[in-house]
Amino acid sequence: MKPIRNPYQIVSRAIFVLAWILCFLEAQAEPFTLIFPDGTTFRIHKAEQFSEPMNTWKNHAHQLKTMFHTYHYPDDLADYKSIFYQEGYPTGIDSIYPGWRPKMNSVRIEPQAVFYGLLDQQEVACIQYSATGGDDIIQMGFFARRIEGRWYPLGSKLNPQYQHVMALMAILEVDVVQNWIQPGTNPVTMEAASRIWQRCGGDEKKIYEPCLYAIGEEWGISNQPDQLEMEALVFKPRFTEGINRRSPPGYQQNLVSYLTELELDEKAQHTVLYYLRKNEMMKALAVMGRHGVTRDWKIIMRDLNSMQGVDRYKTIEQKPAEPAKTE
């Protein structure tokens, strides 16, 4: 074989070898399926981390990114409506838009990752991002579906059906998900992914959502440093502003006394405190309910707000659901 002296030939050969390696690695990747208690399945075949800031997504070459930017920061109402499939935008958007759109200028959106796959057999992409408003930073998930080669928001009809899937995808670390698809090279991340797989997965490449949350809870309330590290490697905090940063002196002791008054045993208290640290109030309430607490959840929220001296937890009044637009 003759030596290659032409620089163009050297570059071409390097690109060819790189492309071959990438194709080989992609061929080794194997999708896995998340299974939820209600029967919903999300089969994920690809996960990518984002590095571009949100302001570069307007009029992006990748239509998914352009659509996501328009969804949050449309130029006008017509621009917002244009990204929905068959007019599947929220009912009543004409009256809501004038008040909602200006508020979005004070919200900072930071895309973090995207997960491609099949959600109950429909082609989707789930964008993981953080939304910052005031001093609160919240992890979010956004589903887009692909129809005839274009990406559209999931729509007002389907969004409520998959809130629980978005909630999980909002906090799963992309590095771990990538390891479930194809083992990586970072030994620490590989160990975290492997521990989850041994407990919740198996030869069928399926992971059950309740098992994921159960492990996160087990690690999170542990006193073992390695387990606490594993929890942080697999799950992002849903709210990065912890309640203890604003808590007055003696709050922690008062909180423990309050949980004791609710007749929660020590293990249940540790679990509730874990979720309160993560600002996952509804999960904390669910743990209380599982352990026999019958006190009205609105009263519990009021009591916690009183202990902190801030209106941190807000009660939600149930209102008649607005009918979704037919898609």
In this predicted model, what pLDDT tens digit does every residue of 153-169 receive, in sequence order? 998 888 899 999 999 99
Percent share of the chain, pLDDT over 90? 55
What value does the mean pLDDT take over residues 27-51?
Answer: 92
User: How far is it, in rounded angstroms, from Cα 312 to Cα 199?
Assistant: 35
pLDDT at site 163 = 93
Count of domains observed in the chain: 3
Looking only at the bridges linking them, the beta strands covering 32-35 and 107-119 are: unpaired
Question: What domain range includes position 288?
Answer: 243-308
pLDDT at site 144 = 97
Burial of 154 (0-12, 13-18, 19+ CB in 10 A): buried
- With CA atoms as reference, report the closest residue to 256 among 268, 242, 269: 269
Using 50, 70 and 90 to split pLDDT, how confident is the model at 7? low
pLDDT at site 164 = 93
- With CA atoms as reference, report the closest residue to 142 among 123, 163, 117, 157: 163
**44 and 156 fall within a common domain:** yes
281-304 pLDDT, tens digit per residue, is: 888 898 999 999 999 988 998 898
**227 and 285 fall within a common domain:** no
121-131 pLDDT, tens digit per residue, is: 999 999 999 99
**204 and 161 fall within a common domain:** no
Check the CA dihedral 33-35-41-44 and report its sign: negative
**108 and 163 fall within a common domain:** yes
pLDDT at site 238 = 86
Higher per-residue confidence, 323 vs 278:
278
pLDDT at site 283 = 84
**211 and 226 fall within a common domain:** yes
pTM of the model: 0.78
Q: Is residue 23 part of a domain?
A: no
With vertex at residue 230, the alpha carbon angle to CA 228 and CA 236, rounded to the nearest 5 degrees, is: 90
Residue 14 has pLDDT above 70, yes or no: no
213-262 pLDDT, tens digit per residue, is: 999 999 988 878 888 899 999 999 888 764 445 667 788 888 999 999 99
Higher per-residue confidence, 316 vs 266:
266
Higher per-residue confidence, 208 vs 19:
208
What value does the mean pLDDT take over residues 304-326?
Answer: 54
Q: How far apart are the first and last CA of the chain?
A: 61
Q: Is residue 327 part of a domain?
A: no
User: How far is it, in rounded angstroms, from Cα 241 to Cα 229?
Assistant: 19
**122 and 42 fall within a common domain:** yes
pLDDT at site 134 = 76
What is the residue-averaged pLDDT of the chain?
84
Q: Is residue 324 part of a domain?
A: no
* H or E segment and range at residue 132: strand 122-133
64-118 pLDDT, tens digit per residue, is: 999 999 999 999 999 999 999 988 888 899 999 999 999 999 999 999 999 999 9
**196 and 259 fall within a common domain:** no
**182 and 101 fall within a common domain:** no
222-236 pLDDT, tens digit per residue, is: 878 888 899 999 999
Q: Is residue 87 part of a domain?
A: yes
User: How far is it, in rounded angstroms, from Cα 33 to Cα 41?
Assistant: 7
Q: Distances from the Cα of 57 to the Cαs of 46, 63, 132, in angstroms? A: 20, 9, 18
The token pair at 117 is 């796959």
Where among 123, 143, 172 does a domain terminate?
172
**165 and 253 fall within a common domain:** no
What value does the mean pLDDT take over residues 306-320?
Answer: 55
What value does the mean pLDDT take over residues 160-179?
Answer: 95
Q: Is residue 21 part of a domain?
A: no
Using 50, 70 and 90 to split pLDDT, how confident is the model at 17? very low
